[in-house]
Structure 1
Amino acid sequence: MPGRPFIEGATVDLCAVSEDDVDFLRDTVNDPAVWPTIGARTPVTETQEREWYEDHASEDDGNVNFVIAVDGDPVGSVGVHGVDDVNGSAEIGIFVAEDYWGNGYGTEAGRLATDYAFAQHRRHRVVARVFEGNDASARIWETLGFEHEGTHRDEVYVNGEYCDVRYYSVLEDEW
């Protein structure tokens, strides 16, 4: 169960990742409906997820991961990654457990994480990547006003085939 909210939203809260969240995160990234949408290639073990928690749940370099919680229950994760202090950019990544798809949780978490990246980390540009076929993720970024910058053809190899990756971004003065 996620801890106290770090960022409160209307429907979802963003909470610091706790050790209690590790099983939920592992189970979600291993879900056959989820892992192809985030580029996972192999199953994540309990040991690997705990090591990730120890090493990457929150880093001193500005990268941060949150558990998306609804009424105190975890429904997904959102992170601000690839923080570039020289150029003022960062990438946001989201995944939501399949049982919670279609409720707008990813959109609100994306908005809260983008607000956080601009307000707390003085980012100038925030980027999101969407794997081919993940139209729900594309709708999140389009709804939030991110601009589709282009598509990298056959950029990643997932689930036995190469797939395109669409790039979206928003600048601080557009937000």
Structure 2
Amino acid sequence: MTIFCETNRLFLRSVQLEDSALIAKWKSDELLKKMSIGLNTVITEQNQQEDIHKSIELKQPYYIITIKNLNKSIGYVRLNWMDDTNYFGWLRFGLGEERGHGYAKEALYSYIEKVFKSGTKRIDAEVYEFNKISFNLLQSIGFMHEGTRRKAYYSNNVFSDVHTLGLLQSDLK
């Protein structure tokens, strides 16, 4: 197990193919689906294993968030896409368990700080308009609201805006 970074309460370890069942379980959670990947997205252990394999092959940063004193994996954080220079990436994250304890903010801050130290220059994120918790979380660590893609997401017969956010190293709070 390779630890990427750690805080007082958490460590982020490299994702492994064996994590596919756990990630599939988290991503199948109705709240996580609604807030980040879409209710109609089909999640299986197989497609998560393929996704993990691809991220490892492409050397895209993908880590499991773990509570230190419990050795309990509770979520993930990753740069889902990076350009050829590794200067620019698109942030994806989710807590499958233990929401409401500040773990997401703690993990994201530590992760992003380390990613910037490795040479990444900019991180992008998107948030559905109804996901105010993630929007506020990202802004609290320095992401700037850069635009809104109006009515760009459709689910359950409702069109919703998608907010785009960006973070430069100098913005990190």
2:136 pairs with one of 134, 139, 144: 139
User: 1:51 corresponds to which residue?
Assistant: 50
- Displacement, 1:86? 5.1
Number of aligned residues: 169
Q: Distance in 1 between matches of 2:5 and 2:77?
A: 12
Structure 1 pair 88/18, CA: closer, same or farther in 2 (3 Å)? Answer: closer
Q: If the length of structure 2 is used for normalisation, what is the TM-score?
A: 0.87
Q: Is the 8 A contact 2:20 2:48 kept in 1?
A: yes
1:29 equivalent to 2:18? Answer no
Indicate the RMSD between aligned Cα atoms, in angstroms. 2.0
Q: Is the 8 A contact 2:20 2:46 kept in 1?
A: no
1:167 equivalent to 2:164? Answer yes
Render the CA deviation track for 1:111-142: whole Å, top value 9, x for unaligned: 1221122111x122211211121111112111
Q: Distance in 2 between matches of 1:70 and 1:12?
A: 5
Q: Is the 8 A contact 1:90 1:117 kept in 2?
A: no
Q: If the length of structure 1 is used for normalisation, what is the TM-score?
A: 0.86
Q: Is the 8 A contact 1:39 1:156 kept in 2?
A: no
Could you tell me which runs of 5 or more consecutive residues in structure 1 were left unpaired when the two chains were aligned: none
Render the CA deviation track for 1:49-87: whole Å, top value 9, x for unaligned: 22222222x243x52211111122111110013212459
Could you tell me which runs of 5 or more consecutive residues in structure 2 were left unpaired when the two chains were aligned: none
- SS of 1:36's equivalent? helix
Q: Is the 8 A contact 1:13 1:68 kept in 2?
A: yes
User: 1:92 corresponds to which residue?
Assistant: 91
Runs of 4+ residues over 6 Å off in structure 1: none
Amino acid at match of 2:27: V
Q: Distance in 1 between matches of 2:50 and 2:163?
A: 30
- Displacement, 1:14? 0.9
Q: Is the 8 A contact 1:80 1:91 kept in 2?
A: yes
Percent identity of equivalent pairs: 24
User: 2:80 corresponds to which residue?
Assistant: 81
